[in-house]
Amino acid sequence: MAHPGSIRVLLVDDHSVVRMGLAAVLSLDEHIVIVGEAEDGAQALEKFRTEKPDVVLMDVRMPGMGGLEALRALRAVTPEARVLMLTTSELDEDIQRAIEAGAAGYLQKSVTRDELVRAIRCVHAGGRYMPEALTRRLEQLAKRRHLSHREIEVLDGMRRGLSNRDIALALSISEHTVKAHVKAVLQKLESADRAEAVARGFEQGLLRVDE
């Protein structure tokens, strides 16, 4: 190692431009050494085994094995791995899942060089790093009433244009019960009708575009 206290970093992002950018930004700090790059989750696991980095900088969205899966897989094998998640999409409850999955921090790609370096140092030192804006979002997410498993299934039925009766058939329950669930969904999502409920579902990440 070039410096005694150097921090060995592994970059994981499917966009080469972003990797180059991170490398360019981080190479300005003499304590940080890029020991490897990976384009997807599988490569990340591979590189982690061979390079044993101190900190992993990982994109959330990647083709194939996504960042969250990779994070979980990594933590399952090596719980002491320090992983800083990076993202472009700010408004997501991926954040929550990332934290639950054991991320040591969560950053947006719009971070300044300074904040990025601070975050890496913080994480390397064993701490957690979370930008203020995101902690605020987290609180919002915690506040929001969350739907039960059944209610989400019903919401998904609505999304697919099914009538209450058809949802009932699909779930093998009575139409009355479906209506009860629909009512609960509408209340919890503060929606006037199923159309708005579906919209809220998308907005809050309960429903996803990629099917």
Residue 85 makes contact with a second copy by CB under 8 A: no
**What number of residues does the chain have?**
211
Q: Of 8, 18, 45, 65, which one interacts with a second copy (CB under 8 A)? A: 18
132 lies in the site for a second copy, by CB under 8 A: no
Residue 140 interacting with a second copy (CB under 8 A): no
Residue 181 interacting with a second copy (CB under 8 A): no
Which tokens in the block code for residue 34? 């890029």
d(CA 3, CA 128): 24
Distance CA(168)–CA(172), nearest Å, equals 6
Q: Are the C-beta atoms of 46 and 77 separated by less than 8 Å?
A: no
Q: Is the Cβ–Cβ distance between 176 and 182 less than 8 Å?
A: no
Structural tokens at position 141: 């997410």
Residue 21 vs 102, nearer CB to a second copy: 21
Q: Which does 116 bind (CB under 5 to 8 A by kind): a second copy, DNA, none?
A: a second copy
By CB under 8 A, tell whether 15 contacts a second copy: yes
Which residues of the chain form contacts with a second copy (CB under 8 A)?
Answer: 14-25, 88, 91, 109-113, 116, 158-163, 191-199, 202-203, 207, 209-211
